[in-house]
Amino acid sequence: MLGVSAGASNLLGYLGNAPRRSYQVITELATSKSFYNPRRFVSGGHLVDVKWLFEESNRRFPLDLDTVFSSTPFIAAATNVATGRPDYYEVTPDNIAKAIEATASLPLAYKDTPCFDGGCYTDGGVADSIPVREAYRRGARDITVILSHPLSYEMPKPKAGWLMKKLFIKHPNVGRAMAQRAKNYNESLAFIRNPPKDCVVRVITPQESFPVQRLTMEKALLDIGYQMGVEEGRQHVRRIKGESLYQQEECHFC
């Protein structure tokens, strides 16, 4: 399992066999002022407090770590602030707190820079939002990708790449990674749409009407997005079982 940012946090609930945990974390905690607080940000604090969210999630909705770490290795991606490149590390009971904090520490919005195992990190989505190519590099040949945008989405190039470099003047390689983020993202999409001949890539992706964005706080919209995700997951299972066929426009890997 490979996860990045919020995707890595969601994987904890999956690996821990904890249905609806991620739904509870997002609707009950990620919508609170303790997590998202623009006033605190203006005063010099976090816009989003990633560490608080992880700790409060575990207090309110504790995970059985024996279950989480009992089967599939869990790899998370974070962006190394020194190199601007993604580091992929195995999440363990010893590093889980720092690892999840690191992969989800949105640059600028989260003021701390998590450090562990000799590196310091910011959000993994800066350097590798969709680690499908890393999965292939590690030997995976039947890959399921879960996207947070419809498959038609392509990330636009930044209009002011120079501004990114200026904002990250203390960490110039992070600024360069931000300027290259759209290119890397779209290259991952190209890999998904045209995988190597020895590889199958299946995709669970939202419909075009998916209403949830990175900082959506309205519970009604979150509920709509959640139900859409549940249905897409069920449809994926039906297709795997052969009970439902892909439409040609959905099946880029057919």
106-131: pLDDT as tens digits? 998 999 999 988 899 999 999 999 99
- Does the pLDDT value for residue 253 go beyond 60? no
pLDDT at 170: 82
Arithmetic mean of pLDDT, 87-91: 96
Token pair, residue 55, equals 């700790």
pLDDT in tens, 180-235: 999 999 999 999 999 999 999 999 999 889 999 888 899 999 999 999 999 999 99
List the beta bridge partners of residue 86: 79
- For tokens 């892909």, the residue is 246
User: Exposed/middle/buried for 54, CB within 10 Å: 0-12, 13-18, 19+?
Assistant: buried
- The length of the chain is 254
Q: Sorting pLDDT into bands at 50, 70 and 90, what band is 77?
A: very high
Angle between helix 50-60 and helix 96-103 axes, rounded to 10 deg: 130
Q: DSSP characters for 142-177?
A: EEEEE-SS-TT--PPPPTTHHHHHHHTTTSHHHHHH
With a CB cutoff of 8 Å and minimum separation 6, the contacts of 117 are: 89, 95
Least confident of 5-14, 47-56, 165-174: 165-174
Q: What is the pLDDT, as a whole number, of residue 100?
A: 96
Which amino acid is it at 122? T
With cut-offs at 50, 70 and 90, classify the pLDDT of residue 237: very high
Give the pLDDT confidence score for residue 117 in this predicted structure. 86
> Is the pLDDT confidence value at 245 over 60?
yes
Give the pLDDT of residue 169. 78
Q: Tell me whether strands 119-122 and 75-80 are parallel, antiparallel or unpaired.
A: antiparallel
3-state secondary structure of 59: helix
The whole-angstrom separation of Cα 138 and Cα 156 is 29
Mean pLDDT, all residues of the chain: 91
Give the tokens for residue 106. Answer: 């949105």
Paired tokens of 126: 């800066």
Asked if residue 80 lies in contact with residue 119, where contact means CB atoms within 8 angstroms, the answer is yes
Q: What pLDDT is stored for residue 150 in this prediction? A: 87
Residue 84 has pLDDT above 70, yes or no: yes
CA distance 146 to 117: 28
**pTM recorded for the entire structure:** 0.90
Which pair of tokens denotes residue 196?
A: 């190597």
